[in-house]
């Protein structure tokens, strides 16, 4: 009979909620945080390796963060300024320019950052003319969820929202290799050198373990209260003693007094 109480709508609703929450914790939320932890660990390992590895000649498909050299010339007419950036906790612009290598391929180069002046792009030096050799780090393209193209501002400069070779190729009509080069300090054409990310593992692993703990707590709590409901007198039980009315309690009290004082 008590098992039948667990089929009541309120208990079934609670059971469904626990199942959905625990499933989300174990199959979505915790794996998502584990994935972010692994991605951060991979990035940290690649940055650590790149700090000690000698520079390589740029080639297609090179790993992100590797230090590379590239020889060619800037294409300043196809420059794109990336807006709404944050560098070291402060607003910034980043200046990107396509760079034609000696073999004819074109790669996008991030020259570094500029601090805005009165919310506008400040004056800055153009990239050097002629053939130069660059030293930079290979970076992966950023992705704009809205897939926005570059636009021309009131000063005739192209501006965009992300550093993305695909967007740059659409805007300039050129064939540009995937990814981009982030210039290092003292490299020809560099502006404000972009710092490397901090080698911090982040909170993702602890978040993943917390989601696992929350899911386990929900299941264990459901099991505990289910066990309680199976005992006599559970909150869903129909076998609990009937509550007495006020009239019944008064009558019982009067009967007790008559029994004590029969006269």
- Between 204 and 68, whose confidence is greater? 68
Q: CA distances (Å), 182 to each of 29, 67, 112, 137, 197, in order? A: 33, 9, 7, 5, 13
First to last CA, the chain: 48
CA nearest 187: which of 109, 106, 85, 123?
A: 109
Location of structure tokens 């008559």: 258
- Between 6 and 69, whose confidence is greater? 69
Work out the pLDDT band at 242, boundaries 50, 70, 90: low
pLDDT digits (tens, 9 = 90+) for 70-112: 999 999 999 999 999 999 999 999 999 999 999 999 999 999 9
Opening angle at CA 262, ends 258 and 263, nearest 5: 120
| Cβ-based burial of 144 (10 A; exposed 0-12, middle 13-18, buried ≥19) | middle
CA nearest 187: which of 81, 70, 88?
A: 70
pLDDT score, position 1:
43
149 pLDDT exceeds 90? yes
Please give the DSSP secondary-structure letter assigned to residue 149: P
- Between 247 and 22, whose confidence is greater? 22
Mean of the pLDDT values across residues 54-66? 92
Q: How far apart are CA 17 and CA 49, in angstroms?
A: 46
259 pLDDT exceeds 80? no
Q: How far apart are CA 227 and CA 213, in angstroms?
A: 21
Q: How far apart are CA 215 and CA 192, in angstroms?
A: 47
CA nearest 60: which of 94, 96, 97, 104?
A: 104
pLDDT digits (tens, 9 = 90+) for 15-32: 899 999 999 999 999 999
pLDDT score, position 9:
80
Q: How far apart are CA 181 and CA 62, in angstroms?
A: 11
Work out the pLDDT band at 247, boundaries 50, 70, 90: confident
SS3 74: strand
pLDDT digits (tens, 9 = 90+) for 177-215: 999 999 999 999 999 999 887 777 778 889 999 999 999
Q: How far apart are CA 5 and CA 60, in angstroms?
A: 66
Other beta carbons within 10 angstroms of residue 95's beta carbon come to 25
- Diameter over CA atoms, the chain: 125
Q: How far apart are CA 29 and CA 214, in angstroms?
A: 11
Please give the DSSP secondary-structure letter assigned to residue 242: P
């Amino acid at each position: 009979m008590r098992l039948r109480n667990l089929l009541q709508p309120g208990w079934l609703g609670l059971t469904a909620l626990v199942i959905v929450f625990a499933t989300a914790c174990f199959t979505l939320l915790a794996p998502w945080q584990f994935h972010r932890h692994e991605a951060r660990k991979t990035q940290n390992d690649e940055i650590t390796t790149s700090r000690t590895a000698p520079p390589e000649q740029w080639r297609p498909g090179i790993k992100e963060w590797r230090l590379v050299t590239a020889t060619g010339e800037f294409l300043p007419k196809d420059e794109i300024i990336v807006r709404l950036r944050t560098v070291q906790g402060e607003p910034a612009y980043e200046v990107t320019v396509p760079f034609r290598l000696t073999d004819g391929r074109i790669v996008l180069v991030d020259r570094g950052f500029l601090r805005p002046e009165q919310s506008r792009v400040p004056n800055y030096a153009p990239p050097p003319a002629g053939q130069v050799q660059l030293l930079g780090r290979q970076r992966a393209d950023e992705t704009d969820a809205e897939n926005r193209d570059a636009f021309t501002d009131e000063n005739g400069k192209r501006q965009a929202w992300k550093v993305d070779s695909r967007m740059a190729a659409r805007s300039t009509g050129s064939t540009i290799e995937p990814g981009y080069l982030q210039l290092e300090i003292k490299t020809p054409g560099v502006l404000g050198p972009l710092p490397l990310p901090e080698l911090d593992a982040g909170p993702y692993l602890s978040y993943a373990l917390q989601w696992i703990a929350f899911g386990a707590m929900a299941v264990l709590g459901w099991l505990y209260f289910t066990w309680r409901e199976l005992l006599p007198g559970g909150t869903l039980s129909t076998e609990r003693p009937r509550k007495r009315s006020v009239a019944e309690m008064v009558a019982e009290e009067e009967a007790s007094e008559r029994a004590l004082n029969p006269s």
